Amino acid sequence: MKYTESAPKLFMDTGTRFHRSLIFAMGVIKYSCARTNVSLGLLDSKIGHAIEQASEELMQGNLDHKIILDVFQTGSGTGLNMNVNEVIAERASELSGLKVHPNDHVNMGQSSNDTVPTAIRIAAVKQVHEKLIPSVKEMIGALRDVGDKYSDLVKAGRTHLRDAMPVTFGQELHAYADAFSHDLEILNSVLSYVKELPIGGTAVGTGVNSHPMFRENVIRVINQVTGLNFIPSNPFRGLRFLTDLLTLSGVMRTMAVELYRVAQDFRLMFSGPMTAVGEIDLPSQEEIAGSSIMPGKTNPVTAEASMLISAQIVGLDQANQFASNLGEFELAMGVPLIGQNVSTQVDLLSEGLRKFSSLVIRGVVPNEEKMKRYAESSPALITVISPIVGYDKASQIGKMLNKGMSIREALRELGFDDKAIEEILDLSKLVRPGIQKKT
């Protein structure tokens, strides 16, 4: 394997190996190209069959240890393509007893410039379908289920980290669910773009050195193997732009930001239990010690791990933005890096959503009494008094509350009896549209 042995001298040697999904995708491409070239009468059937067998072994992970070239290599991914070509040629030669050439046979009708851009899209789509979409659905389902369960549980609202009008715990959870539901719609829309493959474009998009039917037939076989319904792209666009994958990265960045926000909110609600908010408990977090020095301390470890994942996804998206600018004219030059990053982002986000939904969302136990007490104690409740007594008097009540008087005491000073006060402070009426009227 001449190329693979020589390339590390010029590429980086960071120990960063290609993601399993990318190696799988390269195997799919080599399998599909060999089958197509045999069917078109361009490749000897015995050699073609041996390449197919070796490619299947690559897809199954049996040859991963031989894909050794670093992710940080030539921007077109030639290192990955040639590493794969040589590994498959070597194994196909062993299987067939024939001399299988990495370029003449395994790479027939192809270029690194179209195979690796195709592989990173196959890998991304496969990962999203198998891992990310199910995890997003789990998150949405958990938020909706728990939101329905606590749809009538009133708690204090907070804006600017200050007391605000009451909300229900269910309203908060359904807000999160709505955000992730929109993300799922966008994700599915973006996938249809990423499914456009530039295979058959060879070096610059023209398809030179490939059969006129090569492109169509290869994608047909890819779909037989993956079941993912890929279609041909404009090959010139597919080789020079990676913005479809950047868009996918951006959707994951958005979900990561939302995961961070949800995790932060839960972390704050869990804070305490005696000296901070303490509105919820998370029994799942008690399975491991929260502190190495303070016995019995419980920390929101899953929420914090999710926030670290979110930070990494946002960082990888920033790298993808930078790498998407690399390249000139007919070819993008950030191919291996974006491919690696997107697959990694899918792994991280899928794990974060799955663990957060099962251990935090579904594991939450609200402190209902504390939630109600906070909601009733909020100085923001003078907002509902304003339409009754007027803005100026409501402001006076606010000052009275700041001096320690309860809102009930303030209302009594204004002449309201207990029945009227109970009606005014009916929290269930304050978490839906409506205007308070004079009693």
Q: What is the pLDDT of residues 54-82, one digit of tens each?
A: 999 999 999 999 999 999 999 999 999 99
What is the percent of the chain with per-residue pLDDT over 70, rounded to a whole number? Answer: 96
Higher-confidence residue of 351 and 422: namely 351
Strands 231-232 and 280-281: unpaired
Model confidence over 162-179: pLDDT tens digits? 888 899 999 999 999 999
Given a cut of 80, is residue 403 above it in pLDDT?
Answer: no
**CA-based diameter of the chain, in Å?**
101
Given a cut of 60, is residue 438 above it in pLDDT?
Answer: no
Which DSSP helix (H) or strand (E) runs through 374?
helix 368-377
How high is the pLDDT of residue 74?
94
Higher-confidence residue of 428 and 329: namely 329
CA distance to 41, 154, 158, 168, 424, per residue, from 430 (Å) = 75, 9, 14, 10, 9
Q: Shortest CA distance to 122 belongs to which of 3, 33, 7, 38?
A: 33
Q: Shortest CA distance to 270 belongs to which of 295, 303, 305?
A: 303
Other C-beta atoms within 10 Å of 302: how many? 21
Could you list the active site residues? Answer: 160, 291
How high is the pLDDT of residue 120?
98
Res. 103 pLDDT band, cuts 50 70 90:
very high
How high is the pLDDT of residue 174?
98
How high is the pLDDT of residue 435?
63
Given a cut of 60, is residue 439 above it in pLDDT?
Answer: no
Q: Shortest CA distance to 238 belongs to which of 191, 190, 205?
A: 205
Higher-confidence residue of 418 and 436: namely 418
Higher-confidence residue of 439 and 216: namely 216
How high is the pLDDT of residue 324?
96
Burial 1-15 (b: 16+ CB within 10 A, else e): bebbeebeeeeeeee
How high is the pLDDT of residue 291?
65
Six-digit token pair at 124? 């991304």
How high is the pLDDT of residue 420?
82
How high is the pLDDT of residue 97?
97
Q: Shortest CA distance to 232 belongs to which of 195, 188, 283?
A: 195
Instruction: With 0.85 as the threshold, say if the pTM is over it.
Output: yes
Model confidence over 164-219: pLDDT tens digits? 889 999 999 999 999 999 999 999 999 999 999 999 999 999 999 999 999 999 99
Burial 364-387 (b: 16+ CB within 10 A, else e): bebbeebbbebbbebbbbbebbbe
Give the Cα separation of 376 and 155 in Å (integer).
9
**Domains in the chain: ranges and CATH:** 3-108 (1.10.275.10), 120-194+235-369 (1.20.200.10), 378-431 (1.10.40)
Other C-beta atoms within 10 Å of 253: how many? 21
| Alpha helices for 98-242 (secondary structure H) | 112-127, 133-149, 169-194, 214-226, 235-240
Model confidence over 262-292: pLDDT tens digits? 999 999 999 988 888 999 999 887 776 666 6
DSSP conformation letters of 286-355: GGS-S-SSSTT----HHHHHHHHHHHHHHHHHHHHHHHHT-EETTEES-HHHHHHHHHHHHHHHHHHHHH
Amino acid identity of residue 307, one-letter, is M
How high is the pLDDT of residue 45?
98
